[in-house]
Amino acid sequence: MAPKVLFVLTSADKNLRGEQTGWYLPEAAHPYYVLEPHAEIDFAAPKGPNPPVDEGSVKSFTDPHSVKFLNDPSVTSKLATTKKLSDVSAADYDAVFYVGGHGPFYRAGKVTAAVCHGPAALIKATTTDGKSIFAGNEATGFSNAEETTIKMAVPFLHEDKTKELGGSCVKENEQWGPDVVVSGHLITGEL
């Protein structure tokens, strides 16, 4: 039986400046097509069906996987029937992947993965002894320098928050460099 993986997408359609936002196309598409041949994948979002895609990511990413993802009948069906996050049980999944919290997955010893800004969904997730899941772990994601470069309004800087929670932030030497960090059963990345 194939493992079950839950992709968690955002339901937010506006950023702090009131500009359109949503889940980021390649950060869903690329991992989806890596995992899809080997796993059963479900989608969930805080508000359920039809989570918004970041229109800027649709315009910026026309690679084969991103284009396929937007036109794949299986994917469009999953997006239309995305589960409401509050209706999802951690016990039903082997891993969770945050495209965009829900600490029970980590507490249960299951793989918890997040990419780019996705680790923001994990800032309140704790271990069974009440410590942040970042405490004593390495993680990656958007760096302070990258946030400064794009000049978007965010409630906190991932790099600073990871350190504040007792973790260490691992980054490539160059901005926008792809990176994956595995620290126990916490996996973080940046495309």
24-28, 49-53, 90-94, 105-109, range with greatest mean pLDDT: 49-53
Contact (Cβ atoms closer than 8 angstroms) between residue 75 and residue 50: no
Contact (Cβ atoms closer than 8 angstroms) between residue 6 and residue 84: no
Q: Is the pLDDT of residue 25 over 80?
A: yes
Q: Is the pLDDT of residue 145 over 50?
A: yes
Whether pTM > 0.75 for this model: the answer is: no
- pLDDT, the chain, mean: 87
Q: Which of 1-10, 68-77, 103-112, 122-131 has the lowest mean pLDDT?
A: 103-112
CATH of the domain at 81: 3.40.50.880
**Structural domain that includes position 102:** 4-190
Q: What is the pLDDT of residues 55-97, one digit of tens each?
A: 988 998 999 999 999 999 999 999 999 999 999 998 999 998 8
Number of domains into which the chain is organized: 1
Q: Is the pLDDT of residue 182 over 80?
A: yes
Contact (Cβ atoms closer than 8 angstroms) between residue 84 and residue 44: yes
In this structure, the strands spanning 95-98 and 111-115 are parallel
**How much is the average pLDDT of 38-52?**
96
